[in-house]
Amino acid sequence: GQSLEQPSEVTAVEGAIVQINCTYQTSGFYGLSWYQQHDGGAPTFLSYNGLDGLEETGRFSSFLSRSDSYGYLLLQELQMKDSASYFCAVGADNYGQNFVFGPGTRLSVLP
């Protein structure tokens, strides 16, 4: 089977740093992606890791360790607007894009 695990909820205060972890077990692996979804909205792409290491995009960074089947999303200088659900997703093959999404982590940013 294919499965991804994420914490269900995370709470932090404005200005803080938060890390959302994702572990995966999939039959194939062609990269780890992160998506953000606000309540009532559509998922929006945040980042992609195809190789081990850290990718930085503004306040957001994403890390991947393929040997550990593990990745994380790091959000810095948290803002109220960052309150949303965050999903990791694995592309299980590279011919098509058989995507498996994690269950999502609900981030609440408090003032």
Partner 1 sequence: DSGVTQTPKHLITATGQRVTLRCSPRSGDLSVYWYQQSLDQGLQFLIQYYNGEERAKGNILERFSAQQFPDLHSELNLSSLELGDSALYFCASSVGSGSTYEQYFGPGTRLTVT
Binding site for partner 1 (CB under 8 A): 30-31, 33, 41-45, 48, 50, 87, 90-91, 93-104
Please state the closest distance from residue 62 (CB atom) to partner 1, in A: 13
Separation of alpha carbons 5 and 19, rounded Å: 14
- Pick 12 or 31: Cβ nearer partner 1: 31
- Pick 30 or 70: Cβ nearer partner 1: 30
3-state secondary structure of 1: coil
Classify residue 64 by burial, with Cβ atoms within 10 Å: 0-12, 13-18, 19+. Answer: buried
Please state the closest distance from residue 70 (CB atom) to partner 1, in A: 17
Please state the closest distance from residue 11 (CB atom) to partner 1, in A: 20
- Pick 3 or 108: Cβ nearer partner 1: 3
Q: What single DSSP character describes residue 52?
A: S
Q: Could you tell me the two tokens for 29?
A: 């692996």
Please state the closest distance from residue 100 (CB atom) to partner 1, in A: 7
∠18-19-20 over CA atoms, to 5°?
125
